[in-house]
């Protein structure tokens, strides 16, 4: 015995941003999912069920993704305007200049 292979060390999972296309750690990205019911949701916990796409926590990336429709393409669903607004609100909330 003792010939069991050790599982490979887990690396931080990397995901590609739908906006700028850079790969980042999953935890640095915001997840957008398509639920099994065919709804689009912003998944701030990263734990919801569904097909997911990722984007940097950046309004610039959001605008790029919207322009390129890359979220739509990767989720294969139309993203309602309200989702973009929700994301923009979330991304912009930390650097408001009131």
* Contact pick of 32, 33, 61, 71 for Zn ion (by CB under 5 A): 61
66-70, long-range: CB < 8 A, 24+ apart: 68/18, 68/19, 70/18, 70/19
* Contact pick of 15, 17, 79, 87 for Zn ion (by CB under 5 A): 17
Only one of the segments 7-15, 44-52, 57-65, 82-90 lies at the binding site for Zn ion (rule: CB under 5 A); that segment is: 57-65
If one counts every other C-beta atom within 10 angstroms of the C-beta of residue 80, the result is 11
Taking CB under 5 A as the rule, does residue 40 contact Zn ion?
A: no
* Contact pick of 30, 56, 62, 71 for Zn ion (by CB under 5 A): 56
Query: Which tokens is 20 given?
Result: 């700028």
Strands annotated E in 10-78: 14-16, 23-25, 29-34, 40-43, 51-56
Only one of the segments 5-13, 17-25, 71-79, 80-88 lies at the binding site for Zn ion (rule: CB under 5 A); that segment is: 17-25
How many angstroms separate the CA atoms of 42 and 6, rounded? 36
Whichever of 53 and 56 has its CB closer to Zn ion, that residue is 56
Interface positions with Zn ion (CB under 5 A): 17, 19-20, 56, 61
């Amino acid at each position: 015995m003792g010939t069991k292979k050790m599982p490979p060390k887990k690396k931080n999972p990397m995901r590609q941003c739908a906006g700028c296309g850079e790969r980042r750690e999953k935890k640095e990205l915001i997840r957008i999912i398509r639920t099994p019911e065919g709804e689009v949701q912003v998944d701030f916990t990263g734990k919801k069920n569904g097909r997911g796409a990722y984007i940097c926590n950046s309004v610039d990336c959001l605008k790029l993704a919207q322009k390129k429709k890359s979220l739509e393409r990767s989720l294969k669903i139309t993203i309602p305007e309200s989702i973009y607004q929700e994301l923009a609100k979330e991304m912009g909330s930390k650097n408001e200049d009131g």
